[in-house]
Amino acid sequence: MAFIRLPAVAGSFYPADPQTLSADIRRLLADAGSTARAVPKALIAPHAGYIYSGPIAATAYACLRDQGHAISRVVLMGPAHRVSFRGIGISTAQAFRTPLGDIPLDPLASALLAIPGVLALDEAHREEHSLEVHLPFLQTLLDRFTLLPLIAGAAPDALVADVLAAAWGGPETLVVISSDLSHYHDYHTATERDRATSEAIARLDPLSFDHDGACGRTPLGGLLTLARRRGMRIEPLDIRNSGDTAGPRDRVVGYGSWALYDRSPDTSLPQLLLGLARRAIERRLTDRHEPLPIPDRPELHEKGACFVTLRRDGTLRGCIGSPVAWRSLAEDVVDNAARAAFSDPRFPPVGADEMFRVTLSVSLLSAPEPLDFADEADLLSQLRPGVDGLVIEDRGQHALFLPAVWDQLPDPAAFLDHLKTKAGLGARHWSDRFRAQRFTVTEYHEG
């Protein structure tokens, strides 16, 4: 039964009154200024009471200023303080509530349960502050977003990295890792220890610090492992401690914030098309119906025809497309991706719990070329196995095979017989009104 995860530390870690909270957040952001030159893919920020760590967290969140429209999904991971367990705990709540309102949970969260070591564990979320304190910052800066909240128990870096990779998404997804640094040393000792931890984080080196250096060592270790794997760039934003903000200097807690940037985005046509296809499906899964923003590339706005194919673990999961160009290529990709996922009559609709195991391909079709032939034998002699896609039509019935079908039907006669059967004409059908057009395909694949 769906429920809402209620705030646990409103009134202690941050104000419970909405107006006071909103004013505090805006003041912290104003004081932080803006240190980012680009939109980060991931942030690392602390999770103590705002009076202590709020200024340092604000230096991270200031990177998102004026980006409220661009980010629609946040993956937020922090360490477990209240419950001891092994693995990564997800919430089954419908939404997380703060004094600023409710944040809907991302339905793709259930897909992560397929990863060994990920478990539904609402108990770990109920009283946990390491995620909650970040939510008002996100609510203030982002227009509308879904949340994927993750609590890290005892877990190896590889598992955390795999979970983050599965939830990574595209430019619409922001990853936030919640962690403080050293705890309860004198000011000088803490400064030295936090400097060493900061240097390790800047090297993307999780093996050079432990939980004494960062209470969020587990989620940090996974992010840094994945960041090294992806060749990411990291930029330090702020390193201070509670002695610099609002506390005494005999026993301080260290805080730091960093921004991580993915490799320069691939703006090639294949990646733009595959990105549009995936976002079209994910948007339907999250019941969002506003139009997808289309990049300003002339090829996307010209007429084009494509097929979008889904495979799950290498097995066909859906395929729908357009045999001729009649609308913009971007519109064709977006519509065919959604129909391949949810309207292919051969398969049930794709579910959120399997989406991270689905890979996509987009096949661009050339303009069809009418074939001139005297009889069936003449048509067969003109076909180019492995190269031609074929469209046939007779008696008002028609069908299409992509060139990929040659892999299963390498003989031209069998290829044509199966295509006639698909059209409902019968394998042995022939008439003087039989028409055929061939085309070629350029295929783009994820991965």
pTM of the predicted structure, to 2 decimals: 0.70
For 391, the 3-state DSSP assignment is strand
β-partners of residue 98 are: 101
Residues 427 and 359 in one domain: no
More confident residue, 2 or 8: 8
DSSP code, position 168 = -
Cα–Cα distances in Å, from 125 out to 81, 96, 272, 420?
A: 10, 10, 37, 57
Identify the pLDDT of residue 447: 67
Residue 447 in domain: no
pLDDT higher than 80, residue 335:
yes
Among 197-206, 279-288, 340-349, 372-381, whose mean pLDDT is lowest? 279-288
Identify the pLDDT of residue 229: 85
For 302, the 3-state DSSP assignment is coil
Q: At 20, which CATH number?
A: 3.40.830.10
Residues 360 and 424 in one domain: no
Identify the pLDDT of residue 142: 95
Whether 255 and 58 have beta carbons less than 8 Å apart is answered as no
**Phi, psi (deg, nearest 5) at residue 260:** -120, 140
- Residue where a domain terminates, one of 261, 290, 320: 261
Q: Which domain range does residue 313 map to?
A: 269-365
Q: What is the amino acid identity at position 104?
A: P
Whether 197 and 236 have beta carbons less than 8 Å apart is answered as no
For the record, the structure tokens of 201 come out as 């984080």
Identify the pLDDT of residue 294: 82
Residue 221 in domain: yes
Whether 216 and 177 have beta carbons less than 8 Å apart is answered as yes
* Average pLDDT value for residue range 8-33: 96
Q: How confident is the model at residue 351 (pLDDT cuts 50, 70, 90)?
A: confident
For the record, the structure tokens of 153 come out as 């128990």
* Average pLDDT value for residue range 237-262: 95
The string of pLDDT tens digits covering residues 383-429 is 999 999 999 999 999 999 999 999 999 999 999 999 999 999 999 99
Integer-rounded Cα Rg, in Å, for the chain is 27
Residues 197 and 109 in one domain: yes
Identify the pLDDT of residue 410: 96
Average pLDDT over the chain, rounded to an integer: 92
Q: From CA 84, how far away is CA 87, in angstroms rounded?
A: 10
**Phi, psi (deg, nearest 5) at residue 274:** -65, -35
Q: Say which residues have a Cβ less than 8 Å from residue 403's Cβ, sequence separation at least 6.
A: 386, 387, 388, 389, 440, 441
The string of pLDDT tens digits covering residues 123-173 is 999 999 999 999 999 999 999 899 999 999 999 998 999 899 989 988 889
The string of pLDDT tens digits covering residues 260-316 is 998 766 678 898 899 899 888 887 886 666 677 788 789 999 999 999 999 998 899
pLDDT higher than 90, residue 364:
yes
Identify the pLDDT of residue 423: 95
pLDDT higher than 60, residue 35:
no
In the chain, how many H helices and how many E strands? 14, 20
Residues 376 and 297 in one domain: no
Whether 288 and 314 have beta carbons less than 8 Å apart is answered as no
Identify the pLDDT of residue 33: 75
Whether 42 and 259 have beta carbons less than 8 Å apart is answered as yes
Residues 298 and 405 in one domain: no
Identify the pLDDT of residue 108: 77
- Residue where a domain terminates, one of 365, 391, 417: 365
* Unique residue bearing structure tokens 């980010």: 71
Identify the pLDDT of residue 169: 85
Identify the pLDDT of residue 37: 62
Q: Residue 424 half-sphere exposure, CB side, CA atoms within 13 Å?
A: 5
For the record, the structure tokens of 95 come out as 């939404």
Q: At 338, which CATH number?
A: 3.30.700.20
Chain-centroid distance, C-alpha 127: 27
Q: From CA 389, how far away is CA 373, in angstroms rounded?
A: 17
**Phi, psi (deg, nearest 5) at residue 242:** -65, -20
Residues 351 and 375 in one domain: no
Number of domains in the chain: 3
Identify the pLDDT of residue 302: 94
Whether 323 and 400 have beta carbons less than 8 Å apart is answered as yes
Residues 312 and 187 in one domain: no
Q: What percent of the chain has pLDDT over 70?
A: 97
The string of pLDDT tens digits covering residues 190-241 is 999 999 999 999 999 999 999 999 999 999 999 999 998 888 999 999 999 9
